Structure 1
């Protein structure tokens, strides 16, 4: 068994698509109209047939409370692996990305946490 699809709730799918592709570097996989919303997924350019990330509309009533609680506690909704957290931190900060946690070295990994501008905190991580 392996993960095929996971999702992040977003306030605005078009804005999220721009952030996740133009800033983070993912590529669009599917963009299928579904009424007012879309089935909108992105993937890593390094693994275009790998795990998809669904940019899911945050319209369900429980989503606001869930995301607010996570953000208030500083808990990332998702974690993305990178080769070099400090280099990615510098690159993203240069693009105007706001971080809630600068790179932090721990025993087995380095992490940083960013605001995806769509209502979520996202962790970037490198496992040593």
Structure 2
């Protein structure tokens, strides 16, 4: 049951883990330079900028930078 749940989350683009940062573009470049495969480059959405990477174990990890008003 857990494997089916994990696969469904991945297929729907739902992250298994969300991390917050104050420098999403810098973190994206550093992580990408180390060979990570990003499913979504930094993208502005309402109230934040997000990026998603594949952890190579079947999970999406989301990095979020909240907008500062």
TM-score (norm: length of structure 2): 0.89
Structure 1 or 2, whichever has the larger Rg, is 1
Q: Are 2:35 and 1:96 aligned?
A: yes
Deviation at 1:108, TM superposition (A): 1.2
Runs of 4+ in structure 1 over 3 Å off: none
Greater relative contact order (Cα < 8 A, sep 6+): 2
- Structure 1's unaligned 5+ residue stretches are 1-61
1:70 aligns to what?
9
Q: In angstroms, what is the RMSD of aligned CA positions?
A: 0.9
Q: Are 2:45 and 1:106 aligned?
A: yes
1:29 aligns to what?
none
TM-score (norm: length of structure 1): 0.50
1:82 aligns to what?
21
